[in-house]
Amino acid sequence: MAATALKRIGLVLGLPVILFAVWYVATDNSQSFYVPPLRTILSVFDDTWTGQRLRADVLPSALRLLAGYALATVLGVGLGVVIGSYRRVRAVAEPVLEFFRAIPPPVLVPVIMLFAGIGDGMKVIVIVSGCVWPILLNTVEGVRAVDGVLADTARSYRITGPARLRHLLLRSASPQIMAGMRQALSIAIILMVISEMFAASNGLGFTIVQFQRSFAIPEMWTGIILLGLLGFVLSALFRFAENRVLAWYHGLRSAQRKS
């Protein structure tokens, strides 16, 4: 058991460690102002990201990201269930969804600023505007793909309302819903940074831009590394939650492979 856990940790951390080693060696003698040695970047990391700065910049960014991601999940799943369940609603909504999905969310930032101002609300709306689409579209496809036999069985046993929603639709569509949420998480991180580059006074994206504008290049690189670490941690937490939520699905697929 311990050997399996160590092997899994090695597989997860192996490539990042190799890439950091290559980066360290490749930049060890770098004289470039814009690409300083990795040892220089690491030497200023602790002084740059103090507890006070983490509370002032990283924590607000994380809260905005989580708020936007949670709101996008609720909207995406809710609307996706309705659109996927009714053919006429899907026929009416599909052209509109395809139109708005094709608009890059960063383009909407100036428009959103006109209506929502420059506060935290604007940043949350920007994150929602990009994250909702993969969740919504995957939910629609997941609901449409519900097994017909299961649907007929639920109808025969008069399983309707919230019970049908919970035990049939959401459960059957959950693998695709989680796939959409996984895509949306990476989009949320990108939009979090972009939204903080416009008329912001704090946040991880704002701080990285401030370092760049003041030519504090090693400090700027520490912000980029911290952003990558944040994405890694959120991805690991999501994978843990996904394994718990889809334990029944992975068990079913494993049983099918063995048979």
DSSP for 191-202, written as a single string = HHHHHTTSS-SS
Does a structural domain hold residue 19? no
Q: What confidence tens digit (pLDDT) does each residue in 34-83 have?
A: 999 999 999 999 999 998 999 999 999 999 999 999 999 999 999 999 99
Tokens 């008329």, residue located: 199
Question: Residue 54 domain-assigned?
Answer: yes
Say if 3 falls within a structural domain: no
Does residue 164 form part of some domain? yes
Q: Within a domain: residue 238?
A: yes
Average of pLDDT values for 100-105?
Answer: 83
By CB atoms closer than 10 A (0-12, 13-18, 19+), residue 42 is middle
Name the band, by pLDDT with cuts 50, 70 and 90, for residue 124. Answer: very high
pLDDT at 5: 64
- Domain, as residue range, for 235: 37-258
**Average pLDDT score over residue span 134-148:** 90
Residue 102 is part of a domain; what is its CATH number?
1.10.3720.10
* pLDDT at residue 222 in the model: 95
Residue 2, pLDDT score = 62
Tokens 């994206």 correspond to what residue? 205
- Kindly report whether the global pTM for this prediction surpasses the value 0.85: yes
Residue 218 lies in a domain: yes
Residue 183 within any structural domain of the chain: yes
Task: Please check whether residue 241 lies inside any domain of the structure.
Answer: yes
Q: Report the number of distinct structural domains present in the chain.
A: 1
Query: What is the average per-residue pLDDT within 105-129?
Result: 87
- Read off the DSSP letter of residue 215: T
Split at pLDDT 50, 70, 90, the class of 145 is: confident
Residue 159 and residue 200 in contact, taking contact as beta carbons nearer than 8 Å: no
Arithmetic mean of pLDDT over the chain: 88
